Structure 1
Amino acid sequence: MARAGITYYDVSKAAEAIKIQNQEPTVDRVREHLGTGSKSTIAPLLKRWRSDNGEVVDVSGLPNDLVEVVKALHERVQQMADQRIAQSRDEFKASNDQLRKELTEARNSIAQLTDRQQDLNAQLSQITEAKALQSKSLEDVRIKLATAEAQRDEALSRTAELKESVAELKQENKDIRDHFEHYQQRTAEDRQQEREQFHVVNQGLKDQIQDLQHRLIQAESSASELIDTNAHLQRQTHELEQANAMNKSTLDRQVVDIENLEHRLNDASAKSREQQHKSEQLADNIAALTSQKADADKQVAVLSQALEATKTDLIVSQNRVEALSDENRLILQEKAVIQGQFKQLQDSLSR
């Protein structure tokens, strides 16, 4: 595609320079001499130069105004087609690059969000397992606490029974003493015998009282230990409940993070769909440009038919028609290239 600014004057100067070097001016030589331009732009201008320099059959039989009008119209149509094709290519390339960039960013964002969601799911699984273990440990502590409370109640019950037994023994001792005082009035032998019996019984009772007191002290010590154990278990239960509350709060925050990541993932998907919609709109624009180009081709064809009808005996008219046909083929080729590029873009977007 030629850069904007290639004119008939440039081509004619280049052809004359090549002619001075005793070489035949061709499209390739003119393009090489200018250093720019496309064959589809240079070819009709070179033919025009040949026509102006008498290298083709004289067109004196054709009105000059008509020839000039047709030439100017053809040149204008050609320039408009070239500009539209160049603009379409630039827009297509820019849009394609932007779409590819945005698609890459969207895919990277989706991959990052997927990885983050997997990490959060793994963390959620770990927290759930830890919570289950803590719940199990808490349940074990509760069972131990219930067992300790049962043991404490049993110890308290045994302590009460022992206290009742001690009270009964004291009452019995008192009764014995009363009975002993009652029988002091008896004879000396009876008193001596009673004293000996009382001594034996009293010693046994003292031993029983000492044993009961010892057992009472042990029971009170066990009860104190059980109370301390109960308080310790209650503290552990409170700590576990606080840890469980903290884990629940952390779990709630992570659930909120997961929901936020899901919203971001949905936004990225919506953005991807929007980019696809833009691509479809771009395809519609290319189709519209193709239709406009087809209309321009039809206008060129109509003008070519009119020119051929008025120049049936002139070789210049045939060359002009051939030049227009060549241009049409080049445009169709470029159109096929653009359609191929658009199809490749659609294939890449669909992947």
Structure 2
Amino acid sequence: MARAGVTYHDVAKAAEAIKSQRQEPTVDRVREHLGTGSKSTIAPLLKRWRSDNGEAADIGGLPNDLIEVVKSLYERVQQMADHRIEQARQEFEGFNNELRKELTDSKNTIAQLTARQQDLESQIERQNKEKGEEKKFLEGARISLVKAESQRDEAIARTTELKGSVAELKQENKDIREHFEHYQQRTAEDRQQEREQFRTVIQGLKDQIRDLQHRLTQAESKASELFDANAQLQSNAGKLEQANATLNRELNGKIEDIQGLKRELEDAVTKYRDSQHKNEQMAENMAVITTQKADVSKELAVSAQVLETTKAELKACQDKIAFLTDENKVILQEKAMIQGQFKQLQGSL
């Protein structure tokens, strides 16, 4: 879009500077000279400048109606091309913003999963410390239970069962870590594939825009050649009728070229629709990824339940150990009482 400072005076000054360089003032050349402004804003101002400076007289020898038709066709093609390019640019920016938003959401989800993984790892570390303390406690309990000969076999069996439970817990923790590492690798591969698809779509749209700009430049070049041919027809006054016939043939060719440009624009629109279809496929892929994330969340919930079950089992083990300790104390008290009675019997004998 043109800025508010582009005026008729600016366009007229730029057109005169271009004409002083022996070049035909066109919309693109005026826009390049100014460094700002849109074609839809510059075109009517340049047309007014041509009218004020008698530019129509430079192509004398041709009917005014024919000149107006050629100019009208040329301006219409430029306006249609500008509209197509602007529309494609806006749609591309919208799609780019949506992909950036989805990428940001994915990064946030990954950050949340990473934080959750760190929490689980810290929980596992705390459990390992608790297991170490439990091992020390079990060792002390085993030493105490050795003193009670009648309960030794049962205490050893129970200690063996506790060690098996600890080994199972270690294996479960190892499986959880492997699951998280696999999930991180799969998520990184999915992000890389999405980035490659996104770069491919952007490059395709840029190539289409450059192709349309190149075709517009060719159309302007052909129009410039047409004006040169008209100047040659004016210099050859003696062969006016033959030159007019040649000009009519060239005009027919230009009209065919314009129709060809229209067909090419329609082809570009078709390609753009194909790219939209690809974008929809990408959206479906994103939906599949979202479903996979939901599955992972469910798996995390199951892992949390497993951890809760493990904690409950550890609590049960602690309760068993406390019960064994109490039994050991009772046994020691009974042993002390029996020893006292035995000493009393010895004294009586």
User: Which TM-score applies when normalising by structure 1?
Assistant: 0.47
* RCO higher in structure (CA 8 A, sep ≥6): 1
User: Which TM-score applies when normalising by structure 2?
Assistant: 0.47
